[in-house]
Amino acid sequence: MKKVLLAVSGGIAVYKACDIVSKLTKRNVDVQVIMTENATKFVTPLTFEALSKHMVFTDTFDYSYDASIKHISLAQEADLLCVAPATANIMAKMAHGIADDMVSSTFLAATCPVLVCPAMNTNMYENAATQANLRILEERGMKIVGPGVGKLACGDVAKGVLAPVDDIVDAIMETLGQ
């Protein structure tokens, strides 16, 4: 069984990550979820735990589960890392090697393929800094999925919404060779 590590960062599109987990598990993919602290403000870890049947990790330094160094062991066990939604903040951390939370630390330890699924306000997405960070991630071999055009949380209709869940799941399955 292939193992996908789903890294969820804090944007309104977090609720769509629940559907990603559900659809992957229905395709016999083992999904482990990690979250930024901001992501937990939108959807609680309990929701992802119910869907994935795994404990969700949010704190790099929480050793109450076991004595392993989770951001290392999770990265080593993954066949693929998918960051969805990928906020401007987490993409900047990824592009510049900042490891100050569970998601960014695990990303730096990962050697598996990485899919990045941006989702944010269109002005944030089109900002020169965000575009430069996306280019860096692509140049390092990461596959970018989305964003799409649609109604944003602010009410605008523009580029910045999370790619359709089915597109993300298809990209994951294709990358896994399934």
Active site positions, annotated: 154
Angle at 43 between CA 38 and CA 49, to 5 degrees: 110
- Tokens in use for 158? 């523009």
Instruction: Say which amino acid occupies 109.
Output: A
Cβ proximity of 6 and 85 under 8 Å: no
**What are the residues facing 118 on neighbouring strands?**
86
Closest CA to 101 of 49, 135, 58: 58
